A and B are shown apart, each in its own frame.
Chain A
Amino acid sequence: MVQKVYSDADAALAGLLFDGMTVMAGGFGLCGIPENLIAAMRLAGVRDLTVISNNCGIDGFGLGILLESGQIKKMISSYVGENKLFEKLYLSGELALEFNPQGTLAERIRAGGAGIPAFFTKTGVGTLVSEGKEIRNFDGYDYVMERGLVGDLSIIKAWKGDTEGNLVYRRTARNFNPMMATAGKACVVEVEHLVEPGQLDPDHIHTPGIYVDRIIAGARFEKRIERVTTRPRDTAPGKGAV
């Protein structure tokens, strides 16, 4: 019987890493990032990585620790503004960067995992993003062709998972994780709560276990917050986010 459960992050990545590989890493900012697996990749020392991730962590945490160790050759991202080291490495030419609009990045990954090699989108038509790409008119509007994305490995963070690899995410920590789980040749997941089959409601599974090759209960979750924003207790609840 295939055993998907591994003892820890190092064991779960063993045999899957090689220099020059492409890795998809889930998360938006520091929310929903596979922090245990990122730390294990740093220890493993694998180099010349192309990393597909919406952001690149912050200085000293998340994917930022793979920048510090010089393991990343190229990032495919939509926004990298939170990272001073990123800026330094990029401006000195040590780091390559490909920007994708966030929705195009999400859809490229979804398409890659779904066996769709390319699709057309309105996003980016008439901007730098569409330069050199095929433009086609449908029903009177121009669309740009974008390619599906796949990776050698996807590293995913979920809230709960069972030993079959069925996953449930929590709140906005879902973000890029479900698509990335489908688009890596291998998919390794860390969860906060690893449970037995039957303990998750099959109607509430976000990622079915077919996409998951290996799963661990994360040893430690720091779950840092980039911008803790609060309101004092004496205010009435507002209607918006301010």
Chain B
Amino acid sequence: MAWTREDMAARAALELQDGFYVNLGIGIPTLVANYIPDGMSVTLQSENGMLGMGPFPFEGEADADLINAGKQTITELAQSSYFSSSDSFAMIRGGHINLSILGGMQVAENGDLANWMVPGKMVKGMGGAMDLVAGVRRVVVVMDHCEKTGAPKVLKHCNLPLTGAGVVDLLITDLGVFEIDRKVGGMRLTALATGVSLDEIAAKTEASFKVAL
């Protein structure tokens, strides 16, 4: 037993607060939009130049001039605004976005994140990930706890090239939740996924961590 993708997205949604401006990455982070609590006002930023992303358009109403950073067609809301890529990353780099939720390949106990490059394989590019983790006030990573091979992804040191050094505040995996003090370094396990024991998560985690359940 462990958390599903939907469970992880629901857990990540607990990090949202009323009035937040939020950037959601591709994959599980995108699902977080489905768990915004009723009555809470959250504005979604798309780094290609939009604040206030709306839902997918109805069939037949897709607009080639209106896409998100994952290049999917979307819609606008009454409060939406559009801007250039340099304005978009000025608000990201300048610390104006409250929360970034993105995927990961590896996270280390000092808050290092790797999620863009596997040496020897075709590299697609980092897109906006390095800017987001460097500039957004709070960074939450959502990823599977281990590789499909069983190899750990929560490590003492990342062995893949970094996306950012000391940038992750919170890590949500299918097995549990870790808080990371990115100034001093150090992980604290704060929640276990349904049906996951402390022994199991300890056995599957290379990073050292304190337990604060």
Alpha-carbon separation in the docked complex, A171 to B53 (Å):
11
Closest B residue, CB atoms, query A91? B122
Is the CB–CB distance between A242 and B34 below 8 Å?
A: yes
Contacts of A224 in B (CB 8 A): 64
Alpha-carbon separation in the docked complex, A125 to B79 (Å):
35
Q: Which of A109, A125, A206, A242 has the most CB of B within 10 A?
A: A242
Alpha-carbon separation in the docked complex, A23 to B42 (Å):
39
B145-186 contacts to A (CB < 8 Å): 161-166
In the complex where A31-B65, A122-B93 touch, is A109 in contact with B86 (Cβ < 8 A)?
Answer: yes
Contacts of A107 in B (CB 8 A): 86, 89-90, 93
Number of interface residues of A (CB under 8 A): 64
Is the CB–CB distance between B34 and A240 below 8 Å?
A: yes
B17-33 contacts to A (CB < 8 Å): 24, 30-33
Number of interface residues of B (CB under 8 A): 67
Q: Report which B residues bind A (CB closer than 8 A).
A: 24, 30-34, 36, 42, 44, 46-50, 53-74, 76, 82-86, 88-90, 92-93, 112, 117, 122-131, 134-135, 161-166
Alpha-carbon separation in the docked complex, A226 to B163 (Å):
26
Is the CB–CB distance between A78 and B67 below 8 Å?
A: no
Chain A binding surface, main DSSP class: loop
Is the CB–CB distance between B130 and A242 below 8 Å?
A: no
In the complex where A172-B82, A242-B56 touch, is A81 in contact with B124 (Cβ < 8 A)?
Answer: yes
Alpha-carbon separation in the docked complex, A127 to B117 (Å):
11
Alpha-carbon separation in the docked complex, A186 to B128 (Å):
28
Is the CB–CB distance between A103 and B34 below 8 Å?
A: no
Is the CB–CB distance between B33 and A226 below 8 Å?
A: no
Alpha-carbon separation in the docked complex, A109 to B162 (Å):
24
In the complex where A171-B63, A171-B66, A172-B50 touch, is A241 in contact with B85 (Cβ < 8 A)?
Answer: no
Contacts of A231 in B (CB 8 A): 55-59
Is the CB–CB distance between B130 and A123 below 8 Å?
A: yes
B134 interface neighbour in A125, A171, A178, A233, Cβ under 8 Å: A125
